[in-house]
Amino acid sequence: MATHTLHTAATRGHADHGWLSSHQTFSFAGYYNPERVHFGALRVLNDDVVAGGKGFGSHPHDNMEIISIPLEGQLEHKDNLGHTQAIHQGDIQIMSTGSGVFHSEYNGHPTKAVKFLQIWVFPNKLNVTPRYDQITLNPADRHNTLQQIISPNPDDAGTWLYQDAWFHLGRFDAGFATTYNLKKQGNGVYVFVIKGSFTVDGQTLAERDGLGITGTDNIAITANSADAELLIMEVPMQIN
Amino acid sequence: MQALHILAIGRNPEIMAVIDRLLNTPENRTGTTVTTDEEARAAFQNTTFDLVLLCVGISEQEGAALTTQLLQLQPGVPVIRHYGGGSGLLDNEIQAALAK
């Protein structure tokens, strides 16, 4: 029988630093909630808004898979691996930080805010050579279907990461229904509503709500509003 | 309030320099960072630590062996894993360890 863990939008942690407004589904920085530390290998899900011209200065990471999904605006990425690139709405950025990487992320627009999701996943392999990748997706390819954006396999659709994790985006018309079939036995699924409302495995979800589901092989999804968008993150529930 | 003494052990010197700065930023906390097991053992000879952070890049086997040695030097000291390389999770992990 499936087990649900519901995190409604209003119950997330929130940090307002002026230049950065961050809503945090899981404990992060100054927000600590022992009941919300991770969902399996999914450790961080931050819903960030960065003011025009501002951003995160150079700082390090290691042994974490870090995914950024811009929802509005653009981020300018720079790292010590030699990458200087911008990511926009429709792009997916991934860093396998492995043995260590320093990077900065700035809003590329002087006045307009950038909105993006920052997601951290525990890797299944330690101290790999750090890797940076970004891809551009066609939003039309997720209309009334689930578009794979991340998988463990470099030859599969989307980009890839060092974990048995699969991410999909979907943008549905009101009333559109589909089923997500898990890729690997024992994995769990965390569903995050980007826009609109959905019914997921019988649970009604509003904008920015999150639902963790374990103990099932497939999940029924129905959009309850027009132009509704969601992110599905399938991750291992056991961390090595 | 007594200052909290934390030892962080990792292998990447540049990242450990950042962790050192972050650990020593709050007034009520002091941090020592090292990149080798020998340095970690030596640090334990001179200081009583409240918490040890073992960076996750250290293999499980190495980490377990080092933890055993450190616990022999100071029984009961909490030894936890640090994830992410100093950013975002550091204060969270310290808070979680101290809450136990």
Tens digit of pLDDT for each residue in B27-80? 999 999 999 999 999 999 889 999 999 999 999 999 999 999 999 999 999 999
Alpha-carbon distance A13 to A222, whole Å? 27
Distance of CA B29 to CAs A18, A59, A169, Å? Answer: 26, 21, 43
Confidence (pLDDT) at A142: 97
Q: For residue A37, list chain B residues with Cβ-Cβ distance below 8 A.
A: 92, 96
Q: What is the pLDDT of residue A240?
A: 66
From chain A, pick out residues whose CB is under 8 angstroms from the CB of B83: 43, 63-64, 122
Look at residue B1 in the predicted model and tell me its pLDDT.
64
Query: What is the amino acid identity at position A144?
Result: N
Q: Return the pLDDT at B3.
A: 86
pLDDT at B85: 86
| pLDDT < 70: residue spans in chain A | 240
Residue of B nearest to A64 (CA): B84
Order of strands across the sheet that contains A203-205: A177-181, A218-223, A198-200, A203-205
How many residues are given for chain B? 100
pLDDT at B81: 94
Given this model, what pLDDT does residue A3 score?
A: 97
The confidence score (pLDDT) of residue A45 equals 98
pLDDT at B99: 85
pTM reported for the whole predicted model:
0.96
From chain B, pick out residues whose CB is under 8 angstroms from the CB of A127: 57
Residues of A within 8 A of B88 (CB-CB) are 28-29, 44, 120
Q: Is the CB of A96 inside 8 Å of chain B's CB atoms?
A: no
Beta strands at A228-236 and A187-195: parallel, antiparallel or unpaired: antiparallel
Phi, psi for A40 (deg, rounded to 5) = 55, -130
Find which of B92, B93, B94, B100 to mutate to test the A interface (most A CBs within 10 Å of its CB). Answer: B92
Q: Return all residues near A131 (Cβ < 8 A) that are at least 6 apart.
A: A94, A95, A96, A98
Shortest CA gap A46–chain B (Å): 11
Distance, in Å, from the CA atom of B48 to the CA atom of B61, rounded to the nearest integer, reads: 24
Q: What is the CA radius of gyration of chain B?
A: 12
